[in-house]
Amino acid sequence: MKSKIITAVPVRNGEEFIQQTLEAIARQSVRPDRVIIFDNHSTDRTLALARAFTGFTCEINVAEQPGQCMFANFNRALALADQTDYLHILHADDTISPGFYETMTGALADCAGPGLAWCLDERIDENNAHLSYSGKADGRVTVLDRDTFLQRKAEIGNQAFCATLMKTASQPVPVRFPLDYPVLGDQIFWAAYGAQCLKRVYVNQALAQYRWHGANATTFLGPSLQSLVLDEWRTMETNEALRGRGMSWFRALKLKGLFAVRSGIKAKRIRQQGNAEYAGQIVRVTREITGPWLWLAGQGLIEARDVYIYGILRHQRHPKNIYH
């Protein structure tokens, strides 16, 4: 029997937070028909907690081979696409607000084929304390045309996994998460999938909670200069190419400026954590792409931004987060 909503929960050693994630699904005003745990050979109590959960029955799907990368496990979840109208991939350390499925399926209800919807996310820490929001919520629902959507994807606009719902319309997903982008594979995937969707919707409400903690996958992958910095520029170029327009000098200037800011934030945070050598490597490879003047302009924007966000507004930042 075909499902309306399937929630896939990819996980490896997620015992610390998976109970909260499952409870958040159970509190939904519109519940998924199936919740499937895609376990990547956990060695802790993850599966025991999932099997003991009483809010609904969790299906368990264990990877055949141990040691799969994160995105390979997500690709296993995509096999569910033709079994459901809507597919949600929810990390086992994130949560969603009670009205998430009701609101997001409503935003895509009139889409006659594949669609994509995402909302704001609230950043929380390991103790559920609020850190920040990914934007200012005003309740608006914005439908994006293909080109505008791809512009934002080339600029690596925020789109958290927990905050994103795919309308597969019971059709196979024609793209996969790339395995050669350990950090930014989701940005490549969302762009490629969204480019083929009939509708792309941005819901400006904070309906999902993205958790920052010491064991985030992006924290472990951050020490790789390729995955942390160089892949980011490669992602920008790849997603921009999907527009099929070529890259004008002005567009290249904007993307390189954004890249300078994003890399500069990482370099600053890593330097603040005491790793000046690695921060220096980030600066060198970024300047080779942006040139010295865009790099310097970007650093000025970062300093002004930090004064405003963390000084005047007094927002909190997780000490392990090198991306904000």
**pLDDT > 90: what percent of the chain?**
79
Where in the sequence of the chain do the CATH 3.90.550.10 domains occur? 3-211
pLDDT band at residue 250 using 50, 70 and 90 as cut-offs: very high
What is the average pLDDT across 229-239? 97
pLDDT band at residue 191 using 50, 70 and 90 as cut-offs: very high
Q: What is the pLDDT of residue 324?
A: 58
- On whether the CB atoms of residues 14 and 49 are closer than 8 A, the answer is no
Chain-centroid distance of CA 228 in Å reads 15
Of these ranges, 88-102, 202-216, 269-283, the one predicted with the greatest mean pLDDT is 88-102
Residue 152 has pLDDT above 70, yes or no: yes
Q: Is the model's pTM score more than 0.85?
A: yes
Q: What is the pLDDT of residue 220?
A: 43
Q: What is the pLDDT of residue 151?
A: 97
- On whether the CB atoms of residues 36 and 77 are closer than 8 A, the answer is yes
5-31: pLDDT as tens digits: 999 999 999 999 999 999 999 999 999
Other Cβ atoms within 10 Å of 108 Cβ, number: 23
- On whether the CB atoms of residues 320 and 218 are closer than 8 A, the answer is no
Residue 116 has pLDDT above 80, yes or no: yes
Domain spanning 3-211, CATH architecture? Alpha-Beta Complex (3.90)
pLDDT band at residue 315 using 50, 70 and 90 as cut-offs: low
Residue 302 has pLDDT above 90, yes or no: no
Mean pLDDT, the chain, whole residue set: 92
Residue 286 burial (10 A CB sphere; 0-12, 13-18, 19+): buried
252-301: pLDDT as tens digits: 999 999 999 999 999 998 998 889 999 999 999 999 999 999 999 999 88
How do beta strands 84-89 and 141-143 pair?
A: unpaired
Residue 170 has pLDDT above 80, yes or no: yes
Q: What is the pLDDT of residue 319?
A: 63
Residue entry with tokens 């956990």: 42
Name the strand (E) or helix (H) holding 102. helix 100-108
57-76: pLDDT as tens digits: 999 999 887 767 889 999 99
